[in-house]
Structure 1
């Protein structure tokens, strides 16, 4: 980005708000990107397996050297006997573990594919971010690699001479057996987690909890427009096209502080940006250079929840819409989605949802970042579901109960958005349901849909 130019990963924007919002820690951003990857944990596990093997091999060598100094050849013979017996197990493990990994994860991927087809394709993201999935694959691969390395530590011959051996893989063999036991325990936990991933309730609960955490991190100010003044420059995006997943807030705040300016981020997190899209407006002071703003916008192929609270509602709405489609016709799943939507909106009802004002160390506003307002969240939650719900009395009844609950929970100034959707739903049901008795039933609020 540059003043009318852009860098691959930089941005900032302006909007209303007066809420003190400190920049998140830099390592939090790195942690979230690593959680969205499936390669880091297994790769780190392989490195740890090699380091463990090297360290234990040195210890085994030191144990044998010490026993030789003490001329304890009988003890060395006992160690050799144990090692020969353990070698059979290690050989079996090394031969079978890779096949075991392939079978387990092939079945798991089929299960994830079936679940994503029934609920939403974004379900794959939950599998990728699952700690138990990564831990299981990491331990499986580490066990396989470690067992191969241990085999190289065995000295030749079926009955080696205790006086001539230089090392006995005692500790290495013990750790291999321990890794096998840990792999079996993780396999049971992994199967249990994968089965939960195929159930609607646990999936919706996971989405709701992640969404609430993102909402708590990124609730903004009360909505007043800060006195930014006229824009002195505009920065455009020059990286690859994609979804704006994350903004490096701390770096943008530091850049704005050095240049004595205020930056305004024009797109919201979750927006699709292409080269040439305006992403930053500069208010006061000189425009930062492209180099200074490098690696401040992170673009990907899909949205992420870390800085995008509305993405959770988007997922819940997608699952409900698929459940209401004629091909699926599963209103109960739609009702479960509405339960979680109400949970999210009830948590957001009293939060300040104006733009975030990120401040420097002296308390001066340096970055203004937009977040969805209350009306945006309500429209995202109900607009599409309401349009598809008129043919299902179970869903219309649950929607009416949701509207009534939110009207009670929301502050006075936020009730109009909820009442608008309630009135539109009533009008739609009155137009599409011809029988008076059916209309009356469909327009009776019920938190379970149909008890």
Structure 2
């Protein structure tokens, strides 16, 4: 359930409907609250404030109609500019970076501000009345101009103008390559802290390269659908293993592509094993149609490499963007050198092995961050030299002997291809 909720939250944050919808709901509540205040308390108290001008019905209608019409027009322009920026980013940086722009809070809040202001003005406009209504002689309706509601509409308009100024600056800034890479770097920092956690039970202190021979895995859990493994609910799997006194070995990690009926886990002997039991374990795996960074740091690393390889392609020929990617990848390697990768076997509170995860090694990181980039960097003299210099600086900083050895191998590899 936790892995599913992670993916749900990730999708909601990457949508253009959630935050604007909340702001629209807030505008509806605010409009009704302001109108109720005008009806129950009246407007006399506002005459003491210099900034509160008393509007007549015709003027109030004109003000709200003008603001509402302007806001919905600007909202349409805003949406068009956002789509244009997303299209530009997808074409130049790669389609996998689309989620980074979709999750941009600035764009979502801007769209929500204009739509919410429009709806607020519309709801207030409908309650403004003149001295009476023509037609039915028995219908006598006194004039009503919600002065507080109009004042709030004016404040919302001023806020919308400020939001528009911010948006005009924000759009070009958000598609600047330095901003794009900075956001990827922030995601990488966060995921290095969150992923490969010490939360799948407690780590086993003494670890060997081989699984304990006493573990005989007799039950196989297969994927019920095809797609990318987006997350694993380690907490539920650990609870299941502890409750039923079994050991679960995970055969795939987040980011892997799964095919229907492909094995995803193995379980030691369990007397009451059946399809329902297999489903209990299968529910701990969240599968979707695309990779997400919620539990897959390699997805973020691949984004860096994708931007760099596109920049080094003959059609773009932008080695300086590739150099910026190398800079941030080198930062990731330095961070990686300062932490220990979690052990494969995980134990419960009593010291019993409950879960055996897939092995993640420094070799995996070096292959993803450097190995995939070398075939493209080797053909550009500037990028090649910068790659070698940056990796040498990483080795000089790092105290991780294993990681330094792997980085030096990549440096020698690109130098051999140069010759």
Instruction: Please indicate, yes or no, whether the TM-score normalized by the shorter chain is above 0.5.
Output: yes
CA contact (8 A) 1:252 1:293 kept: yes
> Would the alpha carbon gap of residues 33 and 371 (structure 1) be closer, same or farther in structure 2, given more than 3 Å must change?
farther
Instruction: Report if aligned partners of 2:309, 2:373 keep a CA contact under 8 Å in 1.
Output: yes
- Relative to structure 1, the CA distance from residue 25 to residue 265 in structure 2 (aligned partners, 3 Å threshold; closer, same or farther) is closer
- Show the counterpart of 1:255: 240
| Residue number among 89, 92, 98 corresponding to 2:66 in the alignment | 92
Q: Secondary structure at the match of 2:228?
A: strand
Contact 2:301/2:369 (<8 A) preserved: yes
User: Which segment is superposed worse, 122-131 or 167-176?
Assistant: 167-176
| 3-state SS of 2:15 partner | coil
Q: Distance between the aligned counterparts of 2:132 and 2:55, measured in 1?
A: 10
Give the corresponding residue for 2:331: 343
Q: What is the match of residue 314 of structure 1?
A: 302
Q: TM-score, normalised by structure 1?
A: 0.78
Task: Provide closer, same or farther for how the CA distance between residues 257 and 41 of structure 1 changes in structure 2, counting only shifts above 3 A.
Answer: farther
TM-score (norm 2): 0.84
Q: Distance in 2 between matches of 1:211 and 1:180?
A: 38
Structure 2 counterparts to residues 144-163 of structure 1, below 5 A: 144-156=118-130
**Could you tell which deviates more after superposition, 143-152 or 307-316?**
143-152
Q: Is the 8 A contact 1:246 1:298 kept in 2?
A: yes
In the TM superposition, 1:215-234 aligns within 5 A as 215-219=192-196, 224=208, 227=212, 229-234=215-220
Q: 1:304 and 1:423 mapped to 2: Cα distance?
A: 33
1:49 aligns with 2:49: no
Q: Secondary structure at the match of 2:28?
A: helix
For residues 176 and 381 of structure 1, the distance between their equivalents in structure 2, rounded to whole angstroms, comes to: 52
Say if 1:252 and 1:142 are closer, same or farther in 2 by CA, change over 3 A: farther
> How far did residue 343 of structure 1 move?
0.6
CA contact (8 A) 2:132 2:142 kept: no
Counterpart residue number, 1:429:
418
Query: Secondary structure of 1:113's match?
Result: helix
SS in 2 for 1:398: helix
Aligned to 1:277: 262
Question: In 1, are the aligned partners of 2:131 and 2:141 still within 8 Å (CA)?
Answer: no
Deviation of 1:58 after TM superposition, in Å, equals 2.2
Match of 1:235 in 2: 221
- Seen in structure 2, the aligned counterparts of structure 1 residues 264 and 54 have a Cα distance that, compared at 3 Å, is farther
CA contact (8 A) 2:221 2:281 kept: no
On the 8 A contact 2:131/2:142 being kept in 1, the answer is no
Q: Say yes or no: does 1:38 pair with 2:16.
A: yes
2:86 to 85, 102, 112: 112
Counterpart Cα distance in 2 of 1:137 and 1:47: 14
State the partner residue of 2:75. 101
Choose between structure 1 and 2 for higher RCO, CA contacts under 8 A separated by at least 6 residues.
1
TM-superposition CA deviations, 1:205-247 (whole Å, max 9, x none): 11011011101111357974564812131111113x3222222
Distance 1:373 1:194, change over 3 A: farther
Gaps of 5+ in 1: 1-9, 11-23, 431-451
Unmatched 5+ stretches in structure 2: 135-139, 198-202
Equivalences, count: 397
Does the 8 Å CA contact 2:55/2:145 hold for their aligned counterparts?
no
Change beyond 3 A, Cα 1:345–1:54: same
- Aligned partner of 1:128 in structure 2 is 102
Q: 367, 378, 393: which is aligned to 2:366?
A: 378
Does the 8 Å contact 2:251/2:264 carry over to 1?
yes
Q: Structure 1 residues 152 and 362 mapped into 2: Cα distance closer, same or farther (>3 Å)?
A: farther
* Aligned twin of 2:174: 197
Q: Give 1:60 deviation, angstroms.
A: 2.1
Inter-partner Cα distance in structure 2 for 1:425 and 1:353: 27
- Matching of residues 59-78 of structure 1 within 5 Å: 59-64=37-42
Q: CA deviation at 1:398?
A: 0.9
Q: Distance in 2 between matches of 1:85 and 1:365?
A: 75
Instruction: Choose which of 178, 194, 197 in structure 1 pairs with 2:155.
Output: 178
The secondary structure found in structure 2 opposite 1:267 is coil
Q: CA deviation at 1:172?
A: 2.3
Give the alignment partner of residue 384 of structure 2, picking from 385, 388, 396. Answer: 396
| SS of structure 1 residue aligned to 2:260 | coil
CA distance in 2, matches of 1:218, 1:377: 13
Per the TM alignment, residue 143 of structure 1 is displaced from its structure 2 partner at its CA by 1.2
For the aligned residues, what is the CA RMSD? 3.2
Corresponding position: 1:165 with 2:142: yes
The offset of 1:417, in angstroms, is 1.2
* Mapped partners of 1:38, 1:284: distance in 2: 48
After the TM superposition, which of the residue ranges 188-197 and 220-229 deviates more from structure 2? 220-229
Deviation at residue 316 of structure 1 after TM alignment: 0.6
